[in-house]
Structure 1
Amino acid sequence: MKSLVTILLLLLSGNVYSQSNNSDTLIITLDENKQWLTKFEGKDLKDKLTIIRNRILSDTAIYIRQTFADRIRVEDQYTHEKRIEGTCKPLFILGNQPIYITNQTSNKQIENLVELINVHNIKDVRILNDSTAPAIYGSKAICGVIILDPKIKNAGKINPLPWD
């Protein structure tokens, strides 16, 4: 009986550890995003692209509550499921095309974007993380802008994604 209780406790403790470890990788607030962008700066291109792909995939788990221009929150009346709410997702620019991942972005669009972000398609990654980002790209750039320079001059050739 003691061994059964011990095994049960070990299984539960492993589950709790994996849940707490997973929440550490999610970037929810503006401060966490700034720290992420700061750590991102010193990496080489291959590492940057891997980090960006992981960030895009982890951002799909974060729900950003919709707001009007005057910051009045819109409540979702129809969904009563638990979700992780955040306030910060960066704006991606791929060859002059802005890509902002919202709650309505389809899984297929995200998969296509993640497949495009590799060393064969991207030659450089730049970050705008200061007050110039929202001045240039608007309110969606408050959490920073990640500019992906494609190797092909016409990014439409490698970006068949319909974004709003």
Structure 2
Amino acid sequence: MKHILFTFLILYSICSIAQNEQLILTKKANDLWFQSLIKTEELSEKIDLINKRLIADVDVYIKWGFPDGITVQKIPKLDSIRKIRTEGFCKPLYIVKYESQQIAFRIENPLNDGLTNSVVKLLNTNDIYDLDVWIEDERQVLFGTSADCGIIFLKTKKPKVFSAFKELGLPHFYMDEIENY
């Protein structure tokens, strides 16, 4: 029995280490990921990269700090019992656009991967017809510090898809005053 348990622990550790190598934890890794997204030409490949990032970001938590030295850590108290997460640098801001409407969201420190999986299901080439990436762009100032790690605009022509994003109850940012960029 000891050998089985020991073997299980070793395999679990190896899988955890392999998973962590794909996580984007630093500003440099985030910039490299955005560069690969920009260089990718096919929309389906871009959406695949975004979906992989969303899924990997479930295992990353963000610790927020303020200029006065106060730090906010948005990790549920029971989260450490459930899974081990790695502290990361930031996550991109996603904006879903339909005509003149938009929803801006970033999935930060979710309790589980249910919300992320729902978003991933909505991101496909049947529902998203175009995407735009802003990184180190002066227009990012419109979105404040939420855009520090880049913005990904996902454009849809389907009102059902936009409504589905609204119904997910994503932790989003209200930007009614920003109608166009």
TM-score calculated relative to the size of structure 1: 0.79
Work out which of the two has the higher radius of gyration on C-alpha atoms and give 1 or 2.
1
* Cα distance in 2 for residues equivalent to 1:15 and 1:106: 19
Matched AA of 1:57: I
Q: CA deviation at 1:131?
A: 3.9
Contact 1:91/1:100 (8 A) holds in 2: yes
Q: CA deviation at 1:136?
A: 1.7
Report the 3-state secondary structure (helix = DSSP H, G, I; strand = E; otherwise coil) of the residue aligned with 1:41.
helix
1:150 is aligned to 2:156: yes
* Cα distance in 1 for residues equivalent to 2:89 and 2:113: 21
The count of residues paired between Structure 1 and Structure 2 equals 159
Q: Which residue of 2 aligns with 1:162?
A: 169
RMSD: 3.1
TM-score calculated relative to the size of structure 2: 0.72
1:23-76 alpha-carbon deviations (Å, 9 max, x no partner) = 221001111000000011122101111111110011011011133464521357
Report the 3-state secondary structure (helix = DSSP H, G, I; strand = E; otherwise coil) of the residue aligned with 2:118.
helix
Contact 1:129/1:145 (8 A) holds in 2: yes
Contact 1:133/1:145 (8 A) holds in 2: no
Q: CA deviation at 1:17?
A: 4.9
Contact 1:133/1:142 (8 A) holds in 2: no
* Gaps in structure 1 of 5+ consecutive residues: none
* Gaps in structure 2 of 5+ consecutive residues: 173-181
Contact 2:58/2:110 (8 A) holds in 1: no
Residue identity over aligned pairs, in percent, reads 26
- 2:120 aligns with one of 111, 114, 122: 114
Q: Which residue of 2 aligns with 1:64?
A: 62
Contact 2:133/2:152 (8 A) holds in 1: yes
* Cα distance in 2 for residues equivalent to 1:16 and 1:57: 20
Superposed, 1:8-157 pairs within 5 Å as 17-43=14-40, 44-68=42-66, 70=68, 72-74=70-72, 79=77, 81=80, 82-95=84-97, 96-104=102-110, 107-132=113-138, 134-152=140-158, 156-157=162-163
- Cα distance change, pair 100–15 in 1 and its aligned pair in 2 (3 A): closer
- Cα distance change, pair 45–71 in 1 and its aligned pair in 2 (3 A): farther
Contact 1:64/1:88 (8 A) holds in 2: yes
